Structure 1
Amino acid sequence: MLQEEGHEVTLIERDPSKAERARKQDYEVIEGDGSREDVLEDAGVGEADALGALSGDLNTNFAACLIGDHHGCRTVLRIDEDYREDIYRKYARQVDEIVYPERLGAIGAKNAMLGGDIRAIADIAQHLQVVELTITSEAPTAGYTISELQLPANATVLAFGKRDAPLAIPTPDESIEPGDRLIVLADFDVLDDVRQILVGDASRATAQAGGI
């Protein structure tokens, strides 16, 4: 995804077959152990903006983040068990962000199975969530414009899309009609209020979303 957006990406991989496969996909690859400083230096850690320690080995990931922090990189640590996040947030000042892909995948799978007109996209922090909501005919704000929309203080519209149209940055004069979609960043405490405003039936929406 970074490469598709035009960023310069270097991969570190110690499995020769995986490294060769990545090269065939036009990635720059350094073969070696990502927890070693000399390997990271060969990959350009000294000039890098960010280091993603995203392997399946937590110790390797943490060691890489320590080295990346020493070189002034933004560091992202992949963890493999949910309970470890609190531990690393408490003790690892060298880690800027923690990601737990298995949890995000589980959230997506759960919401896909439950269906409905509200789909959680990702838990992005302890008290925040990004949700996609589809405007219904019962929504109190149907017929409003984006500028007239009044959400709770701890909620922000990130993107807006007309029915079957791509999502984009919302403009103030866009009208909100049934079938339109909004991406909203909200504190968990105000999610029910946001649902009531944009969907119209908070109790049904909450049940369909699994009580998120």
Structure 2
Amino acid sequence: MNIIIVGDGKVGAALAAQLSTEGHDITIIDSNPQVAGHSAEKLDVMAVIGNGASMTTLQEAGTDKAELLIAATSRDELNLLTCLTAKKLGAKHTIARVRNPEYADQLVAMRDELGLSMTVNPELSAAYEAYQLLQFPSFLKRESFAKGRVEIVAIPVDEGSKLAGIPLFKLYEIAGVQVLVCAVERGEEVHIPSGGFTLEAGDTIYVTAGLADLAKLVKNLKLVDRKVKNLLIIGGSRIAFYLAHRCLDSGVSVKIIERDHQRCLELAEVLPGAVIIEGDGSRQDVLDAEGLRLADAVVTLTGMDEENLVLSMFASHVGVPKVITKINRIEYADVFRKLGIGSVISPKGLCCANIVRYVRAMSSASGIDSVLALHSIVDGQVEALEFLAGPETRHCGETLKDIPLKKGILVSCITHEGKTILPKGDSRFYPGDTVIVVTAGDHAISDLDDIFSD
């Protein structure tokens, strides 16, 4: 597929790397010759130097032949103008990164006029993920499927856990609820386990379960289920605004520490229910004075990964039950999480995942609705995808035990007529069902038929 990416910043570079790896023809547009040249050399992609919103630059990049243009610069208005111009020049699909919450209503009302196929807001996505994690503090990660009815959650197997030493075929006896372990992270290795796989202390398991069963799972496994009643946010970014707004609406007490005076005034105006503290959240005396040790949860949202890491490690050290850390360098997520900083969220990673899902759907032989959701789990080593089975999908109506699947593929959930099914050997899927697939392979799956080995 011919794809143009405008803006070679963190998001643009990550997208170029991912989509190039999946075999697409990538052209990068950036006004900085050094930045664009570096990506062109490193990723073996085309580079065009210039203003991405300029008609001349877009024509030079071959926008009239582009199947997709992604505008990912740091300026919302430039991204919108770029998409509008690209659509006028003949680009089939356009995606814009738009971060300003003030534009939300306009984007809905003027989507067709702006020529937009999709918009992405990394900060809003990160805030939503953080909010989801705060609902079940014992989970390290949560990914939603089947319109929120099914989730894949990451659970640590700690020393003394009821799961340590248990083979998976005995999981129901321990958990008391139907769940499916779709991946296990053990040290540097990732396993797509069979029923005879035995869990060990130190493992992180990725569990597929219906939303209604998650609370039962937490209770039966005696996981930490302390409800978050007061939240401390360090850093007054856009993510902080989105997250605080959600938490306040759900009855959670929110305190935000921000060092910039003007930003504090802005937050106080738009978040009247929150406590806004003007201070340096990296200082221990400030954190102690503002009740860090008494918080049910801490979310570190400063603009520096290193600062967020240190603050999260300190919060974990003093016993804060739930710690969430924002990082931008997703390539180091695995290392960061093993430092004991709790859950990790990455706006850049979430933005890229949403766009890659859309690209996979465009590439699918079944059409734009084939890939309904795509989540990268186990720090990018495993993908979980939700597909819509169509009338032409092969092996519909056959039992799973008789379907030849590629190595490293697991069917983890089927939704049939609104009912969630954790599959067994005699389970089947039919046209109209949604199927969640987990793969540890390094190949990109764009269609449900891609999982079959015949």
TM range (shorter): 0.5 to 0.7
Query: TM (normalized to structure 1)?
Result: 0.65
**Structure 1: which amino acid aligns with 2:257?**
E
Paired residues of 2:394 and 2:449 also in contact (CA < 8 A) = yes
Out of 317, 342, 350, the residue aligned to residue 70 of structure 1 is 317
Which ranges in structure 2 are unaligned for 5 or more consecutive residues? Answer: 1-127, 136-226, 232-253, 365-369
CA distance in 1, matches of 2:345, 2:283: 21
**What is residue 80 of structure 1 aligned with on the other side?**
328
2:344 paired with 1:98? yes
CA pair 12-156 structure 1, distance change in 2 beyond 3 A? farther
CA distance in 1, matches of 2:269, 2:383: 35
Aligned partner of residue 385 in structure 2, secondary structure: strand
Aligned partner of residue 46 in structure 1, secondary structure: helix
Q: Considering only aligned residues, what root-mean-square deviation do their CA atoms show, in Å?
A: 4.0
CA pair 184-39 structure 1, distance change in 2 beyond 3 A? farther
Give a deviation string over 1:102-130, Cα, whole Å, max 9, x none: 12202212332452312552212231122
Aligned partner of residue 60 in structure 1, secondary structure: helix
**What is residue 206 of structure 1 aligned with on the other side?**
none
CA pair 160-22 structure 1, distance change in 2 beyond 3 A? farther
**What is residue 183 of structure 1 aligned with on the other side?**
436
CA pair 143-11 structure 1, distance change in 2 beyond 3 A? farther
CA pair 189-112 structure 1, distance change in 2 beyond 3 A? closer
**What is residue 133 of structure 1 aligned with on the other side?**
387
**Structure 2: which amino acid aligns with 1:160?**
T
**What is residue 33 of structure 1 aligned with on the other side?**
280
Out of 385, 402, 412, the residue aligned to residue 157 of structure 1 is 412
CA pair 31-184 structure 1, distance change in 2 beyond 3 A? farther
Cα offset, 1:34, TM superposition: 2.7
Paired residues of 2:389 and 2:430 also in contact (CA < 8 A) = yes
Cα offset, 1:70, TM superposition: 1.4
Paired residues of 2:412 and 2:437 also in contact (CA < 8 A) = yes
Give a deviation string over 1:21-52, Cα, whole Å, max 9, x none: 4523x445444333233443455432444422
Paired residues of 1:159 and 1:169 also in contact (CA < 8 A) = yes
2:414 paired with 1:142? no
Paired residues of 1:123 and 1:129 also in contact (CA < 8 A) = yes
Paired residues of 1:53 and 1:64 also in contact (CA < 8 A) = yes
Paired residues of 1:13 and 1:19 also in contact (CA < 8 A) = no
CA distance in 2, matches of 1:159, 1:48: 39
Cα offset, 1:139, TM superposition: 3.4
Of the two, which has the highest radius of gyration? 2
Paired residues of 1:138 and 1:201 also in contact (CA < 8 A) = no
Which ranges in structure 1 are unaligned for 5 or more consecutive residues? Answer: 204-212
**Structure 2: which amino acid aligns with 1:45?**
L
**What is residue 55 of structure 1 aligned with on the other side?**
302
Aligned partner of residue 449 in structure 2, secondary structure: coil
Query: TM (normalized to structure 2)?
Result: 0.34
**What is residue 209 of structure 1 aligned with on the other side?**
none
Aligned partner of residue 340 in structure 2, secondary structure: coil
Q: Which has the higher contact order (CA 8 A, sep 6+)?
A: 1
Paired residues of 2:305 and 2:327 also in contact (CA < 8 A) = yes
Cα offset, 1:19, TM superposition: 2.8
Paired residues of 2:256 and 2:277 also in contact (CA < 8 A) = yes
**What is residue 208 of structure 1 aligned with on the other side?**
none
Cα offset, 1:141, TM superposition: 4.2
Using the aligned pairs only, state the percent identity: 22
CA pair 148-201 structure 1, distance change in 2 beyond 3 A? closer
2:445 paired with 1:170? no
Paired residues of 1:154 and 1:190 also in contact (CA < 8 A) = no
169-178 or 96-105, larger mean C-alpha shift: 169-178
Cα offset, 1:68, TM superposition: 0.6
2:363 paired with 1:108? no
